Structure 1
Amino acid sequence: MARATLIDIARKAGVSRTTVSYVLNNKADARISPETRERILQAKMELDYQPNLVARSLRTRCTQTIGVMVGNMIVKNFMLAVAGIQKAAFRHHYHVLLADTQGRNESYIEHIKLLSQKNVDGLIIITATRYIDSKLPEFLAQLSIPTVFVNRPYSEEGTPLPVPTVYVDFEKAMYDAVQYLIGLGHKAIGFAGANMQNLSVKIRRDGYVKAMSQAELAIDPGWMVAEPEGLSTYAFGMKSAPKLIGKGVTAIVTVNDEVAAGVMHYAQQQGIKVPGQLSVIGHDNLDTVKYIQPRLTTVQHPSQEAGVMAFEMLLELMGDPEWKSKAEKALALYSTVLIRDSTDAPPA
Structure 2
Amino acid sequence: MGRRPGGRVTFRAIADEAGVSIATVSRVVNGSTRVSEGTQRAVREAAQRLGSGFARTRSGAPPVLVYCPYALTDYFGTIVTSVVETLALHGRRALVLAGESAQDDTSALLALPEQQGIAGAVLVLPPGSTRDLEALHARRYPLVVVDPRAELPETVASVSAAHAAGARRVARHLLGLGHRRIGFIGGPADWLASRNRLVGHTAALAESGLLPDPALMAAIAEPTTHEGHTAARLLLSRTPRPTALVAFNDKTAAGAVRAAREAGLTVPGDLSVTGFDDSELGQSITPALTTVRQPLEEMGRMAVSLLVRLVAGHAVDTLHVELATPLVVRDSTAPPAAESRV
Superposition TM-score, scaled by structure 1 size: 0.72
Check whether the contact 2:275–2:290 (CA below 8 A) recurs between aligned residues.
Answer: yes
2:256 partner amino acid: V
What aligned pairs does 1:48-197 form with structure 2 within 5 A after superposition? 53-54=58-59, 57=60, 63-100=61-98, 102=100, 105=103, 107-111=105-109, 113=111, 117=115, 119-127=117-125, 132-142=129-139, 144-154=140-150, 160=153, 162-193=155-186, 195-197=188-190
How is 1:1-348 mapped onto 2 (pairs within 5 angstroms)? 53-54=58-59, 57=60, 63-100=61-98, 102=100, 105=103, 107-111=105-109, 113=111, 117=115, 119-127=117-125, 132-142=129-139, 144-154=140-150, 160=153, 162-193=155-186, 195-226=188-219, 230-245=221-236, 246=238, 247-320=240-313, 326=316, 329-348=319-338
Contact in 2 for aligned 1:238/1:259 (Cα 8 Å): yes
Q: How many angstroms does 1:291 deviate by?
A: 4.4
3-state SS, counterpart of residue 134 of structure 1? helix
Partner letter of residue 83 of structure 2? Answer: I
| Gap change, CA 1:100 and 1:237, over 3 Å in 2 | closer
In structure 2, what is the Cα distance between the partners aligned to 1:275 and 1:188?
A: 15
Deviations 1:246-282 (A, max 9, x none): 2431111000222212211121122212111110001
User: Structure 1 unaligned runs (5+)?
Assistant: 1-49, 58-62
Paired-residue identity, %:
27
> Secondary structure in 1 aligned to 2:138?
helix
1:197 Cα offset (Å): 4.1
Pick which of 291-300 and 306-315 moved more. 291-300
8 Å Cα contact 1:162/1:327 also seen in 2:
no
Larger radius of gyration: 1
Mark the runs of 5 or more structure 2 residues left unpaired by the alignment. Answer: 1-54
Q: Which stretch has the larger CA shift, 256-265 or 238-247? A: 238-247
Q: Using a 3 Å threshold, how does the CA distance of structure 1 residues 259 and 337 change in structure 2: closer, same or farther?
A: same
Normalising by structure 2, what TM-score?
A: 0.73
Q: Which letter does structure 2 place at the counterpart of 1:192?
A: I
SS in 2 for 1:335: coil
Shift of 1:123: 1.8
Which one-letter code corresponds to 2:231 in the other structure? S
Q: Deviations over 1:45-92 (max 9, x none)?
A: xxxxx99944xx4xxxxx242222223242522222222222222222
Q: CA RMSD in A?
A: 2.8
Secondary structure at the counterpart of residue 184 of structure 2: strand
